[in-house]
């Protein structure tokens, strides 16, 4: 038979392997970096025979996304082999590739230590040097169950039962074998660059009712340079950890007496929030939104009517007042719909855009709580746009452009995903199809490419998720636009059309920043704590050299504060170098030094945190310089924002 490889037609004998074919169709240099083959939608091991129905084979290169997944999955097996050799009593469970790495869960009598990881890594390197072959064999379900029971791997039988089916594949290299779909690299010697990173606890099957296992995380890359680049990025991320910087900058804290996932905002952190929220209010008013506010708790019947009780209650908190059940709100849409229903709405009144900085509560497992990034109590910049069906595309585009403006302001690039109907959902198929089509049509009209994220929509409608990239190229999901035909039906939202008849509106749920807490956490790490001048809680600090300049320093502080600048004066009897270092650690944008020469001239000497030092300037010049720096991002982004302290 003939098979096409990279545009070349090749005669292939029966029984030829994928490797045999690719060796003829690609250069020797390229083949060295091939880890697997693709035939249509099927990914195959290089050692696998070419399927008789295959007409085209493409190589999967090591540094491609698919290639890295295969390398990482193979590295996970390599790690499991090393663990079993060093700790024979450990039982193997599952070990997938994940973003940028892999993990394996083990049932072992004690936690693995950093010294254990070093030993495991050394054993892995030994296996790489031995260049062992990965081989695959098919087994019946009964044979596979017996095979792993004989090895003492008791978790495998449960996996076989859960997956169902008559036939399973088992991959082996050296003395190690595991239940696995594959594919894998041909030999262990192709796993050239890896590092074990950490150990964490993980419940079997993700349920707290099950036994806690030991999860070892690692990373693997196509070559040592890529690994080093990733490890350097991890180190930079550790330096930028918002929890560490939050303490260093005195922004926020958590406290055991308060409870997990609850944030205490300190004065400086509270000021950052206030500046950000005030900015958002102004931007929403400019775009035709109306500011509303709903209560923190609503009767349980409302949550039942909306579908939250059936589809979302595991994420909610409930309480009882006067023998009446109430739900603490996890989102703000119910109140906004009731506000819409307060009067008869005409087609001329639409769209209605309701905006609320609403405090919500969601139950998160204690194991996933993480500083500002994953909390139980947070504020959403939530809005609900209720519109006519013919207005839907324009409203989606308007929200998307709003997101674009804000992301540009902070220097974020972003991508879009459309998340489709999940298994647990409400509404008709027809409504879901209309909602999904509306989101796709809007992005197509904008010329914005998007990926499809199957089954990850909200339970009441599909959504556009905006995935931003920070300065370390990490991806964060913040903004979202959800299209909902279902809740307007459940709450009987109507408007009177130009025909005098009642019609059903459509509702968009959307956030721009998402969780204010989470977005501030992302900002802290994105800017390494050096928040933009307009958002910094302290924009400048006056530093006197000796007590002789204290009086002028106070006058300068009063003048600059009067110009709308957030300024402090450090007049402690400390050396100037000490004061400067403290200000630098606190990431304060400008340090204004006052010595005898500055007092005599009525000036200050400016030092900036980025190393650009204008030197001695008048107070008026200093004020204008700081105000211009605060305004600069808005001018660059084409936004008009009146900055005022």
Element (H, E) at 409: helix 392-410
What are the φ/ψ torsions at residue 588 (nearest 5 degrees)?
Answer: -75, 130
Is residue 529 within 8 Å of 245, Cβ to Cβ?
Answer: yes
- Do 484 and 399 lie in one domain? The reply is yes
**Residue where a domain stops, chosen among 198, 232, 266:** 232
- Can you tell me whether residue 360 is helix, strand or coil? strand
In terms of domains, do 518 and 580 share one?
A: no
> Residue 555 is part of a domain; what is its CATH number?
3.40.50.800
Q: What is the predicted pLDDT for the residue at 473? A: 86
Question: Quick check: is 331 in a domain?
Answer: yes
| Residues 389, 259 share a domain | yes
The CATH number of the domain holding residue 144 is 3.30.980.10
CA distance 405 to 209: 46
Known active-site residue 362:
yes
DSSP state of 344: P
**Any idea which residue has 């905002």 for tokens?**
265
Catalytic option among 242, 509, 526, 579: 509
Closest CA to 384 of 339, 340, 349, 353: 353
CATH number of the CATH domain containing 29? 3.10.20
Please check whether residue 607 is in contact with residue 377, taking contact to mean a CB–CB distance below 8 angstroms. no
Residues 6+ apart with CB under 8 A from 600: none
Classify residue 277: in a domain, yes or no: yes
pLDDT, position 1: 66
Residue 311 lies in a domain: yes
In whole numbers, what is the pLDDT of the chain averaged over residues? 92
Helix (H, G, I), strand (E, B) or coil at 182: coil
For residue 644, the model assigns a pLDDT of: 46
Residue 603 annotated to the active site: no
Active site residue 73: no
Q: Is the same domain home to 511 and 582? A: no
Rounded-to-integer distance, Cα 432 and Cα 302, Å: 22
Active site residue 24: no
Task: In whole angstroms, give the CA distance from residue 168 to residue 90.
Answer: 23
Point out the residues of the chain with pLDDT beneath 70.
Answer: 1, 7, 637-645
Question: At 342, which CATH number?
Answer: 3.30.930.10
Same-domain check for residues 280 and 405: yes
* C-alpha of 326 from chain center: 31
- Could you give phi then psi for residue 100, rounded to 5 degrees? 70, 5
Residues 300 and 411 in one domain: yes
510 catalytic? Reply is no
Tens-digit pLDDT profile for residues 269-301: 999 999 999 999 999 999 999 999 999 999 999
Question: Does any domain span residue 171?
Answer: yes
Q: Which position among 145, 463, 510, 566 bears the catalytic label?
A: 463
CA atoms 531, 536, 540, 543: torsion sign: negative
Contact 108, 90 (CB under 8 A): yes
Q: CA-to-CA distance for 521 and 48, rounded, in angstroms?
A: 47
Domains held by the chain: number = 4
| Cβ proximity of 615 and 630 under 8 Å | no
Give residue 645's pLDDT: 40
Q: Which of 588, 542, 591, 550 is nearest to 569 (CA)?
A: 542
CA distance 126 to 175: 14
Instruction: Give the domain extent around 54.
Output: 2-61
Measured distance CA(386)–CA(349) in Å, rounded: 10
**Could you say which DSSP state residue 59 is in?**
E
Assess whether 85 and 18 both reside in one domain.
no
C-alpha to C-alpha distance for 440 and 622, rounded to whole angstroms: 49
C-alpha closest to that of 533 among 625, 596, 595: 625
Find the catalytic residue in 382, 431, 484, 570.
Answer: 382
Name residues whose C-beta falls within 8 Å of residue 557's C-beta, 6 or more positions apart in sequence: 542, 567, 568, 569
Q: Are residues 292 and 408 in the same domain?
A: yes
Q: Is 52 exposed, middle or buried (0-12, 13-18, 19+ CB in 10 A)?
A: exposed
Alpha helices, H only, 36-64 = none
Measured distance CA(515)–CA(512) in Å, rounded? 9
Report, in angstroms and rounded to the nearest whole number, the Rg of the chain calculated over CA atoms.
30
Whether 85 contacts 198, CB under 8 Å: no
Could you tell me if residue 535 is inside a domain? no
Q: How far is CA 536 from CA 187, 276, 626, 630, in A?
A: 53, 10, 12, 9
In this structure, the answer to whether residues 428 and 521 fall within a common structural domain is yes
Task: Give yes or no: 483 in active site.
Answer: no
What is the reported pLDDT for 368? 84
Query: How far is the C-alpha of 633 from the C-alpha of 260, rounded, in Å?
Result: 36
**Shared-domain flag, residues 559 and 631:** yes
Three-state DSSP state, 155: helix
Within-domain flag for 242 = no
The helix/strand/coil state of 106 is strand
Nearest to 541, CA basis, from 565, 562, 568, 563: 568
DSSP string across 318-355? EEEETTEEEEE-SSSHHHHHHHHTTSPPBGGGPPEEEE
Burial of 296-305, coded b for 16+ CB within 10 Å and e otherwise, reads: eebebebbee
- 246 occurs within a structural domain: no
Name the active-site residue from 214, 380, 539, 549: 380
SS (H, E, C) 467-513: EEECCCCCEEEEEEEEEECHHHHHCCCCEECCCCCEECCEEEEEEEE
Domain's final residue, options 10, 37, 61? 61
Residue 244 per-residue DSSP state: H
Is 243 domain-assigned? no
Active site residue 211: no
416 closest CA partner among 392, 433, 397, 395: 397
User: Of the listed 18, 333, 483, 603, which one is catalytic?
Assistant: 333
331 with 378, same domain?
yes
Indicate if the alpha-carbon torsion angle 444, 450, 455, 459 is positive or negative.
Answer: negative
Last residue of a domain, one of 29, 61, 93: 61
The candidate with the shortest Cα–Cα distance to 1, out of 47, 39, 53, is 53
In terms of Cα–Cα distance, which of 381, 335, 300, 316 is closest to 507?
Answer: 335
Beta-bridge partners for 178: 171
Following DSSP, what letter does each residue of 127-154 receive, concatenated? HHHHTPBPEEEEEEHHHHHHHHHHTT-T
Model pTM score: 0.84
For residues 283 and 421, membership in a common domain is answered with yes
State residue 637's pLDDT score: 58
């Amino acid at each position: 038979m003939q098979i096409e490889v990279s545009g070349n037609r090749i005669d292939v004998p029966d029984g030829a392997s994928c490797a045999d074919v690719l060796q003829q169709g690609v250069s020797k240099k390229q083949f060295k970096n091939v880890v697997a083959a693709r035939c249509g939608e099927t990914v195959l091991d290089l050692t696998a025979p070419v399927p008789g129905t295959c007409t085209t084979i493409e190589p999967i290169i090591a540094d491609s996304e698919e290639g890295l997944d295969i390398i990482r999955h193979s590295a996970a097996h390599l790690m499991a082999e090393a663990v079993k050799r060093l700790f024979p009593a450990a039982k193997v469970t599952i070990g997938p590739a994940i973003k940028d790495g892999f993990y394996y869960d083990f049932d072992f009598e004690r936690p693995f230590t950093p010294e254990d990881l070093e030993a495991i890594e050394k054993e892995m390197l030994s296996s790489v040097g031995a260049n062992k072959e990965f081989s695959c064999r098919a087994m019946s379900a009964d044979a596979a169950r017996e095979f792993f029971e004989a090895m003492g791997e008791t978790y495998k039988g449960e996996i076989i039962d859960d997956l169902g089916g008559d036939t399973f594949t088992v991959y082996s290299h050296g003395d190690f074998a595991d239940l696995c779909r594959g594919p894998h690299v041909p030999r262990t010697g192709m796993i050239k660059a890896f590092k074990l990173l950490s150990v964490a606890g993980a419940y079997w099957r993700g349920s707290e009712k099950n036994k806690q296992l030991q999860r070892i995380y690692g990373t693997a890359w196509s070559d040592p340079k890529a690994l080093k680049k990733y490890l350097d990025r991890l180190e930079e991320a550790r330096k930028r950890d918002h929890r560490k910087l939050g303490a260093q900058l005195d922004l926020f804290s958590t406290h055991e007496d308060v409870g997990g996932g609850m944030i205490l905002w300190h004065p400086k952190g509270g000021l950052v929030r206030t500046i950000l929220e005030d900015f958002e209010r102004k931007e929403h008013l400019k775009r035709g939104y109306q500011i509303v506010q709903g209560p923190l708790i609503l009767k349980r019947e409302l949550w039942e009517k909306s579908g939250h009780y059936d589809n979302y209650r595991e994420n909610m908190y409930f309480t009882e007042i006067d023998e009446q059940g109430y739900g603490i709100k996890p989102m703000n849409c119910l109140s906004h719909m009731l506000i819409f229903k307060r009067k008869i709405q005409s087609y001329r009144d639409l769209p209605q855009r309701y905006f609320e900085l609403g405090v919500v509560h969601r139950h998160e497992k204690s194991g996933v709580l993480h500083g500002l990034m994953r909390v139980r109590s947070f504020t959403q910049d939530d809005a609900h746009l209720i519109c006519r069906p013919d207005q839907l595309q324009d409203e989606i585009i308007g929200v998307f452009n709003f997101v674009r403006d804000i992301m540009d302001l902070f220097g974020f690039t972003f991508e879009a995903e459309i998340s489709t109907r999940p298994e647990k959902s409400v509404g008709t198929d027809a409504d879901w199809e209309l909602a999904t089509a509306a989101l796709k049509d809007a992005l197509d009209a904008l010329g914005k490419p998007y990926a499809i994220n199957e089954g990850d929509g909200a339970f009441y409608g599909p959504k556009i998720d905006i995935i931003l990239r920070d300065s370390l190229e990490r991806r964060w999901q913040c903004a979202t636009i959800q299209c909902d035909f279902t809740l307007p039906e459940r709450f009987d939202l109507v408007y009177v059309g130009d025909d005098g008849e009642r019609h059903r509106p459509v509702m968009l749920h959307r956030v721009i920043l998402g969780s204010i807490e989470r977005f501030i956490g992302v900002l802290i790490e994105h800017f390494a704590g050096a928040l933009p001048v307009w958002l910094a809680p302290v924009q400048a600090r006056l530093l006197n050299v000796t007590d002789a300049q204290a009086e002028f320093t106070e006058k300068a502080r009063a003048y600059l504060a009067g110009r709308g600048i957030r300024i402090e004066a450090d007049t402690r009897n400390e050396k100037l170098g000490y004061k400067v270092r403290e200000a630098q650690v606190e990431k304060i944008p400008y340090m204004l030094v006052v010595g005898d020469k500055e007092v005599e001239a009525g000036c200050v000497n400016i030092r900036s945190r980025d190393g650009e030092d204008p030197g001695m300037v008048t107070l008026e010049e200093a004020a204008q310089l700081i105000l211009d720096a605060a305004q600069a991002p808005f001018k660059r982004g084409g936004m008009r924002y009146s900055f005022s302290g």
